[in-house]
Amino acid sequence: MQRYFIDTAMTAAPGTTVTLTGEIAHHIVRVMRMAPKDKVELVFPHQQAYVAELTQTTPTVAARLIAQLSFNSELPVAVTIACGLSKKDKADWIVQKGTELGAQAFVFFASTYAIAKWDPKKQVKKLERLQKIARDAARQSHRLVVPEVRYQKNVTALCQLPKDQGVVAYEEAAKAGETAQLVQVTQQLKPGQRVIGVFGPEGGFAPQEVTQLNAAGFTTVGLGPRILRAETAPMYYLSALSTILELQTPVVQSAYSE
Amino acid sequence: MQRYFIDTAMTAAPGTTVTLTGEIAHHIVRVMRMAPKDKVELVFPHQQAYVAELTQTTPTVAARLIAQLSFNSELPVAVTIACGLSKKDKADWIVQKGTELGAQAFVFFASTYAIAKWDPKKQVKKLERLQKIARDAARQSHRLVVPEVRYQKNVTALCQLPKDQGVVAYEEAAKAGETAQLVQVTQQLKPGQRVIGVFGPEGGFAPQEVTQLNAAGFTTVGLGPRILRAETAPMYYLSALSTILELQTPVVQSAYSE
């Protein structure tokens, strides 16, 4: 079923009729060619999702809420993925896949070795474009949240973002065989906490940037023994968080892990 | 340091001089513009990696092996990623990212709801192209193995591949809230075993294909509560395997997991 995100705060309850406008109305009528009685899913702010039935499609589009959906597709913690500026299609890709894998926000930041630069004049347009990719991916992956995409001018600004936990993926840690930190810090997370995962650009971090992040409370973590590209590391991190926090661990330990 | 894969079986030992030909010689001389005394990493069949020093670059390229590298970048199990046929760039992407994340083989298979078809005449070319992507990604991510890319004509052929364990990621399992199987079966794996992870095409599996896979010993697993695209699911799976098999789990359980 098609899922749409409603931006306006409103009291949603079964029986309420909602008028749908703009891009949503366009998608329902022109792209999907839906008719009255067709069903859609509508997600309201504060992560409430409803099944709704279209009551009319002309001259305006309206739908009546039928029942609230209880299935929760969100990670138990609010994850921000912070990435050094990468070439254009890599940012698109990080936002699309990261949204599917459960990130709640993305921050792109300028850093010492970043190959790409964001022209200040084009920043607003770039963020709008990435925000649209996040919205489309959130619909496709049946999220309750559309992740927000932001820009930070350097690592110092990144260090000032509010967080309950921060980690930084540093290639040198992986090369040195660091394998203990990620599981350890992730298991310390409590539901609802905010975690920021920081990933370097294609050119990697400058050592002083890692020192600065460590001083600001970001733990250096290794993501296994293989060298991952700038855009692959955040995907590993989000999948690992889901594996640790969302999949059940059997009580009996296996022969392998002994 | 640049890493190259040597296809010819040979007795590699420190002091041995190796003649480098074809694409490797071209890359060293023309692309990287290296000179005698520059160092490269050479990986031989059976996962032996050496640091080598170039002894000459003209008229032929030769290098002397200096020391064997002991760092093992391979997953402890041999993972085959089997995917329903997807549109062209998705297959490229699955092979590139899957190689970074540790897969040892890729199988693309035709299936009932696959949107893409592979013209039999073009199969060889397609596989060659994907094999080159695998080789480049293996170099970049410092693998010891170049994954092999193959084609299977249907799910029946897939079921006959040798394996110690098989899993199938089925969207309906995720929707039904299946969260226990993946960790459970992965923890049962022993080093060196062969595991096949099967993923549907963009159009998903036909129910009888899942039944057939289950009957052939593939366990249905959920990959968390979000709907993942056809190309994202294998990345989640490989990252989860690495998290479970390669990262250390602290002995003391956290407040969160209690």
pLDDT single digits (tens) B41-89: 999 988 889 999 999 999 999 999 999 998 888 999 999 999 999 876 8
Residues 6+ apart with CB under 8 A from A216: A159, A160, A166
CB contact under 8 A, A141 and B228: yes
Please check whether residue B141 is in contact with residue B97, taking contact to mean a CB–CB distance below 8 angstroms: no
Token pair for residue B177? Answer: 């809230």
Q: What is the Cα–Cα distance from A188 to B187, expressed in whole angstroms? A: 22
Higher-confidence residue: B119 or B93? B93
Q: What is the Cα–Cα distance from A57 to A35, expressed in whole angstroms? A: 6
Q: What is the Cα–Cα distance from B40 to B29, expressed in whole angstroms? A: 12
Q: What is the CA radius of gyration of chain B?
A: 21
pLDDT 10s digits, A122-154 = 899 999 999 999 999 999 999 999 999 999 999
Please check whether residue A163 is in contact with residue A194, taking contact to mean a CB–CB distance below 8 angstroms: yes
β-pair partners for A252: none
In terms of C-beta distances under 8 Å and separation of at least 24 residues, what long-range contacts does B59-63 make, across chains too? B60/B19, B60/B20, B60/B21, B60/B25, B61/B19, B61/B20, B61/B21, B61/B24, B61/B25, B61/B28, B61/B29, B62/B17, B62/B18, B62/B19, B62/B20, B63/B17, B63/B18, B63/B20
Tell me the shortest Cα–Cα distance from B190 to chain A, in angstroms. Answer: 6
Residues 6+ apart with CB under 8 A from A185: A165, A167, A219, A221
- The predicted pLDDT at position A47 comes to 86
Tell me the shortest Cα–Cα distance from B58 to chain A, in angstroms. Answer: 32
pLDDT 10s digits, A147-195 = 999 999 999 999 999 999 999 998 888 777 888 899 999 999 999 999 9
Sheet holding B105-109: strands in order across? B148-152, B105-109, B78-84, B194-199, B165-169, B218-221
Tell me the shortest Cα–Cα distance from A145 to chain B, in angstroms. Answer: 12
Q: Give residue limits of the domains in chain B.
A: 3-69, 78-246
Per DSSP, the three-state class of A127 is helix
Architecture, CATH, for domain B78-246: 3-Layer(aba) Sandwich (3.40)
Check whether B206 has a pLDDT greater than 50. Answer: yes
Closest residue of chain A to B103, computed from CA coordinates: A226
A3-69 and A78-246 in the same fold: no
- The predicted pLDDT at position A71 comes to 83
Considering only CB atoms, B100 lies closest to which of A71, A73, A229, namely: A229
Residues 6+ apart with CB under 8 A from B178: B220, B221, B222
Check whether B90 has a pLDDT greater than 70. Answer: yes
Residue B251's pLDDT band, with cuts at 50, 70 and 90, is low
Please check whether residue B223 is in contact with residue B236, taking contact to mean a CB–CB distance below 8 angstroms: yes
Please check whether residue B47 is in contact with residue B74, taking contact to mean a CB–CB distance below 8 angstroms: yes
Q: Decide: residue B98, CB within 10 A, 0-12 exposed, 13-18 middle, 19+ buried.
A: buried
Tell me the shortest Cα–Cα distance from A75 to chain B, in angstroms. Answer: 8
Q: To which CATH superfamily is domain B3-69 assigned?
A: Hypothetical PUA domain-like; domain 1 (2.40.240.20)
- The predicted pLDDT at position B47 comes to 86
Average pLDDT over residues B147-158: 95
The pLDDT > 90 percentage for chain A reads 75
Q: What is the CA radius of gyration of chain A?
A: 21
ipTM of the complex: 0.90
Q: Decide: residue B244, CB within 10 A, 0-12 exposed, 13-18 middle, 19+ buried.
A: buried
Q: What is the Cα–Cα distance from B55 to B161, expressed in whole angstroms? A: 44
Residue A45's pLDDT band, with cuts at 50, 70 and 90, is confident
Average pLDDT over residues B138-159: 94
Higher-confidence residue: B139 or B9? B139
Q: A78-84 and A194-199: which strand pairing?
A: parallel
CB contacts of A229 in chain B (<8 Å) are: 100, 140-141
Check whether A251 has a pLDDT greater than 60. Answer: no
Per DSSP, the three-state class of B172 is helix
Tell whether B254 lies on the interface with A, counting CB pairs under 8 A.
yes
Residue B255's pLDDT band, with cuts at 50, 70 and 90, is very low
Interface size between A and B, measured as CB pairs under 8 A: 157
Q: B194-199 and B78-84: which strand pairing?
A: parallel
- The predicted pLDDT at position B254 comes to 43
Check whether B238 has a pLDDT greater than 70. Answer: yes
pLDDT 10s digits, A50-96 = 999 999 999 999 999 999 998 888 999 999 999 999 876 899 999 99
Cβ within 8 Å of A, B 199-238: 222-229, 232, 235-236
Closest residue of chain B to A187, computed from CA coordinates: B254
